Structure formats: C-alpha cells, structure tokens
Amino acid sequence: MSDVYLYSFKGKFRLFDIESFLLKTELPQLVEQVAEGTRVGLKVIVPNPGNITYIRPLIVKKILDFIKGLGALVELVDTLDIMDEGLEVMKRVNHVGYSFQTFDAPFLLADHITGTDYKEIIINGDYLPYVHLGTEFEEMGLLVFLTHFTGDPFYGYFGSITHMALRCIAKEFKNKVLADLVFEVDGSRCDKCGLCVEVCPVNAISINEDSGVKIDTSKCIHCGYCSLLCPNKALVLKNSSRRRLIGKFIDIAKTLKNIYGERLFYINVLLDVIPYPDYLPFVSRNISENIGIVASRDPVAVDKASLDIISQRIGGFEKFKSIHNVDPMEIILAAEKSKLGTTNYNLIEV
Ligand code: SF4
Ligand code: SF4
C-alpha cells in the first residue's frame, strides 16, 4: 500500500500553507537523500497561452522554494511538444509567468531548443525498442513531477503517469510514439461541417461530398486537434491505437523508473480540473470544484487517488468516464500491472 497525501481546500477559508503540507510528505526525506549540489528537476509542463487554467506560477514557486529551502539546486524542466518551436516556447515561458524573474530558478528544455538533444536508452520493451529521453534528465538526481490533473480525450485523464510518459521524451521521439494516434471517421456522425479541415495545422484533411472526410496519413502529425474539436465526435481514436499508445507510455514510464529508482516524487494539482490537458490551446468549463493538492512517491497511487477524489465530488466514476467515454482506469491498471505502483493507497489528509 502507498501513502498519498491530500491538501484539501475544504471549508470556506484556509491559508495556502503548502510548505507545511509538503513537510508531512516524503519529499523532504527524498531531497535529503540526494548529495548536496545535486540537481533536482521540478518537472512542469509549459502551459499553452490559449489555456488559462494552468498551474498558477505562485503554486509552482512555493513548491520550488520549498525544495530549494532543503538545500537542493532546483531547475524547472520540460521538453518540447510535437508542434513546439524552442525559441517560441522560451518566449512563452515568460508570457505565462514561468520565467526566471518569477521563480529565481532557470527553466530548461531537456531536449534543447531544437528538440533533438536526447540520450537513447535501449529497453527492448513490449512496445518500444528504445526511448529517447531529453539529455538534461541524465544529470538530475531527483525528479519531482508537478502535474495539473485534468481529463484527456485519448487516455481518459491526464495525470502523473501520462506526464512521465509523454513529456520527458525528446520532441522528435514524441512523433514516433504518437504515430499510433490514428483516428477513424464515423461517417454516420459527420455532417461535413469542415471544422476539422480548418483546424488541421498541416492540411492533412480533405472532404469529398461523396466519400466524406479523409485523412492523409502521410501528412498527419498526430496532434489530435481534429478529433478534439469535431462537434459531432465523428473522428475517434481507434481502440487498437489507444492500447498501443498506452503500451508505449508504460514502456517510457518504466524507463524513467529504472533510471531514477526511488528518486521520483509526484504532485497532482486538483484545481481548475478541465476536460483537456492544459498544454492544448483550449478553454473549457471546469469538471469539478477546486479540491486541493495530492502528493505521493507512487505515480499509480497518486493518479488513482486523484481520480477517486474528483469522481466523488462530481457524482461518481462513471460520470468522470463519460466526459470522453474513455476508461481512465485502462492506463492506471496497465501501470500497476507493470509494477510502476499500486492502486491500493492510504489517503492521509493534511
Ligand atoms: S469536424 Fe467532424 S463533423 Fe465536421 S467535417 Fe470534420 S469529422 Fe465531420
Ligand atoms: S491529428 Fe488531425 S488535425 Fe492533427 S495533423 Fe492529423 S489530421 Fe491534422
């Protein structure tokens, strides 16, 4: 059984004393175990400026200062997403308030501004023969994942496991992993509105009056926008694709676990829980009221606890599942089966 710590915003008012909360978790012990001067990565996701619900800079700063206060050398770190340009992302970091001026700590792109700086790790996994991790991760003694827990149309939810799997690999490798994001068109739902054609960044979609929507797979970069924005849910991820993607995610998460061993910590932020991950440029209504912050050394336990807590607040697990009609337990159970952690947790409310 794994301990999961909850800092709940229950009641009308509470001081935002995240330091006292983190002191009760295993994070201080983990930081003390790494040698003085060792680099600690606070793994964040650079928010998309088209989304306004990302983790507030003040929360990031408080967590960063807490780790710094324990004597560690902390850096914020992320990798480029498939459509990102390095220089544009560095500007975005300032734009959204994730800058050096805010945090008094550097922000690094682990795969460099080119997205091609990686270390190849041969894993011979079930789905991937190798993994390309951003080189900066090689140098870090401890990784703390700070994740905005949200829904996700392709995997059911976005949390610590998906953060680990999708956002530590180099940009060029993301394209290989996401090549399994294959959509099928349900002609009976499509009314040929043309929105998918409009939002596709690489003009990979065409509509023919007789045969309907067609995706040119040689052009598609697997961003998923067409599926996300289709008003009729006519572009759906194939179940076989989802299974393969989850298999790849688990291979990547296991790679990190093998490299870092116990030197990993996970914090899920359950505030502004929206249906989509915040690195996508969409705004949306919140799924639930603001709940608080959940932390653990176990990525499976922290995600399962987050899912349970949110589900309880919104009327049950089936309600959460129905947001995208995708079972969020699929990835959690796959991670548990691969011994990344356990769904059996002990919730400690601080
Ligand atoms: S957005 Fe959806 S409904 Fe509109 S044309 Fe594309 S697939 Fe059809
Ligand atoms: S996933 Fe859809 S929107 Fe994205 S590149 Fe492929 S066809 Fe275009």
- Residue-wise pLDDT for 118-168, tens only, equals 999 999 999 999 999 999 998 899 999 999 999 998 899 999 999 999 999
Across 80-104, average pLDDT:
91
Q: What is the pLDDT of residue 71?
A: 87
Q: What is the pLDDT of residue 208?
A: 86
pLDDT at 12 over 90: no
pLDDT at 80 over 80: yes
Across 174-185, average pLDDT:
87
Q: What is the pLDDT of residue 24?
A: 95
pLDDT at 193 over 70: yes
pLDDT band at residue 212 using 50, 70 and 90 as cut-offs: confident
Tell me the three state secondary structure of residue 85: coil
pLDDT at 173 over 80: yes
Across 55-76, average pLDDT:
93
Query: For a pLDDT cut of 90, what percent of the chain falls above it?
Result: 66
Q: What is the pLDDT of residue 239?
A: 84
Q: What is the pLDDT of residue 139?
A: 83
pLDDT at 272 over 90: yes
Task: Check pocket membership of 232 for ligand 1, CB cut-off 6 A.
Answer: yes
Across 203-230, average pLDDT:
88
Residues forming CATH 3.40.50.11440 domain(s) in the chain: 2-177+239-349
Strands 150-152 and 183-185: unpaired
> From atom 4 of ligand 2, which residue's Cα is the shortest distance away?
223
pLDDT at 13 over 80: no
Mean pLDDT for the chain?
A: 91
Fold of 183-237: Alpha-Beta Plaits (3.30.70)
Residues forming CATH 3.30.70.20 domain(s) in the chain: 183-237
Separation between Cα atoms, residue 102 and residue 293, nearest integer Å? 21
Fold of 2-177+239-349: Rossmann fold (3.40.50)
Across 74-98, average pLDDT:
92
Task: Check pocket membership of 191 for ligand 1, CB cut-off 6 A.
Answer: yes
Residue 175: C-alpha distances to residues 60, 121, 292 (Å): 28, 17, 34
For residue 183, report the distance from its CA to the centre of ligand 2, in Å.
Answer: 9
pLDDT at 62 over 80: yes
Q: The tokens of 65 are what? A: 């200062």
Query: For a pLDDT cut of 70, what percent of the chain falls above it?
Result: 99
- Of residues 63, 38, 81, the one with CA closest to residue 260: 38
For residue 182, report the distance from its CA to the centre of ligand 2, in Å.
Answer: 9
Atom of ligand 2 at shortest range from CA of 216:
7
Nearest bound ligand to CA 219?
A: 2
Strands 183-185 and 235-237: antiparallel
Indicate the top mutation candidate among 154, 174, 222 to test ligand 2's pocket, ranked by most ligand atoms within 8 A of CB.
Answer: 222
Separation between Cα atoms, residue 220 and residue 317, nearest integer Å? 34
Across 280-290, average pLDDT:
84
pLDDT at 11 over 70: no
pLDDT at 59 over 90: yes
Separation between Cα atoms, residue 251 and residue 157, nearest integer Å? 18
